[in-house]
Chains A and B, each alone.
Chain A
Amino acid sequence: MRFSQLSDMNAILGSSLSKSFQHYQVLKEVSVEIQQGECYALFGPNGAGKTTLLRIFATLHRPTSGRFEIMGMDGSRDRVKVRNTIYLIGHGSYLYDDLSVKENIQFAIGIRGWNPTDGEIKKALDQVGIGRFSRLRSRYLSAGMKKRLSIAKALLIRPKVLFLDEGYASLDERGVDMMNECIRTFTKAGTAVLMTTHDRGPTAEVAHRVGVLNRSALTEMTVKEMVAADALF
C-alpha cells in the first residue's frame, strides 16, 4: 500500500528492541518502521507487550537491548529532542482534579512553552465534543470525556509522532468516529500515529498498516488481511 511520503525519513524506527521486566521478557528483538503520515495499528493479546513497545518509543521505558529512532533522532541519546516531537495518549489522563478543563489544557500546553489563545482552546475542545465543559473541574469528568480531553491536547500540541494506547477504549460510538476523524487530521498533516487497539472495525477505517504482537514477536500484515483473518492471534 502506498501513501504520500513527506520525506524519506522514518518517523519511528525500532530495531531489535527487547525489554524484560524482572523474570519476564516482554519484547524479543522487535523491529518496526513507521513512516510520516502513516497510521500503524498494533494488535495483540493482553500482556503481549503492546503498551511496553509504545512506552519505549515514548521514552518512558529504556529498552533492555536494541535501539530506536524517532524522526531520525536517537531514542536514548537525544531524548530531549525526541520529546519535542512526540505525544502519548496513555492510560493516565495527566489531569489535575481541581483545575478546570480549560486550565488543565493551559497548563499542559503552557509548560511546553506555548500559550494557545482561548479561541484555539475552544476550537480543539469543540472538535472533540466537550466544548460545553471547559469550565468544569476535571474531577467530575467521565473516563470518556478525559480521553476526549487528551485528544484535544494532542490537537493543540500537533506532535510529529502520536502514540495512542488503547485508542478507542472508553469512547462511545460517536467518540470512536470522532477519534478516527482526528487520526485522519493527524496523518494528513504528516503525523505518524502508532496505536494499540482491540477493535478491528474502526481500526480498518484509518489504519494503513497492521502489526500483531504475540509471544513477544511482531507479525506485520495489511489492513485487508487483518479484516479477512478469522482470528489475529
Chain B
Amino acid sequence: MHFFSVIRWIAWKDLLSEYRNRENISSMFFFALNVILIFSFSFSLDPVTIKEIMPGIIWVAFGFTAIIGLGKSFLIEVNNDCMEYFQTLPVPKGAIYLGKFLGNLLFMLTVEVILFPLFVLFFNLDILDQLLPLLLISAVATIGLSALGTLFSALTVQVRAREVMFPILLLPLSVPIFIGAVEATRGALSGDAFSMYSHWIELLLVFDVIFVIVSFWIFEFILDY
C-alpha cells in the first residue's frame, strides 16, 4: 500500500543519511555522556544516594538526548527546502510524520541502549536481573517522547530561535513521560515486583497512544498551513 511505502521511504532516507554521517547519534551520545559526567560531580556517590537519584540521572540524560537529537531531526528537511517538496506531494502527510517518528525512535533507542552499560559502569549499578523491565520502560517512554518531539521539531524548525523554542515547548508537555519513566525506573531499580510499578507503564502507554494518534492527525497542518 502506498501509505506504508511513504513511511518506509522516509525512514529509509533518514537511516541511510544517519548511517553515512552519524551526526545525530554521535551528538546525542556524547552530549548524554557529558551530562552523566556533570551529574557524577554534582552528587555524592555513596550507594544509598545513588539508588535514590539514579532514575533521575538516567531520565535527565535521556531527556537531554531527546532535546539534542529530536530538535535537529527536521533540519535535514529544511536545508534544501525538502519540507516544500513534502508539501507539494500528493501523499497522506501523516505517513511522512510516521516515517520521521520511526527514524527518531530508532535513533533514541540506539543511544539509550549504548548508554545503559555506561550507567552500570560509572555508577556501579546492578541492573542485569532488571534488564527486561528497564528496556520496556525505556521503550514505552521513548515512544511518547519521540512522538511529541518529532511533532515539535517540525513545528520549531521553521521558527526563529528554534534551539530555544524546541525544549521550551517539549519539556512542560512531556512532564507525564518524565514522571512515569522516573517512577517506573525507580521501581525496577529497587527490585520491586513488576506489578508494583506497572501502573506507571500503563500511564506511559496511554500517553503514547494519544500522542502518536493526535500528532499523526495534526501533522498535516504543519505542512499545509
Contacts and interface: CB of A to CB of B under 8 A. Distances in A.
A88 B16 CA distance: 26
Given A58-B88, A88-B88, A113-B91, A96 B80 contact: yes
B13 A80 contact: no
Contacts of B9: 107, 110-111
At the interface, is chain B mostly helix, strand, loop or mixed? helix
A92 B84 contact: yes
Interface residues of A, number: 29
A86 B88 CA distance: 8
Interface stretch (A41-49, A97-105, A128-136, A190-198): A97-105
B87 A96 contact: no
Contact of B5 (A87, A91, A108, A113): A113
Contact of B84 (A94, A95, A107): A94
B85 interface: yes
A160 B80 CA distance: 24
Interface residues of B, number: 24
B17 interface: yes
Interface in A59-102: 59-60, 79-81, 83-84, 86-88, 90-99
B214 to A, nearest CB: 21
B81 A107 contact: no
A112 interface: yes
B79 A112 contact: no
Given A98-B16, A110-B5, A111-B10, A79 B224 contact: yes
A112 B89 contact: yes
Interface of B: 2, 5-6, 9-10, 12-13, 16-17, 20-21, 76, 79-82, 84-85, 87-91, 224
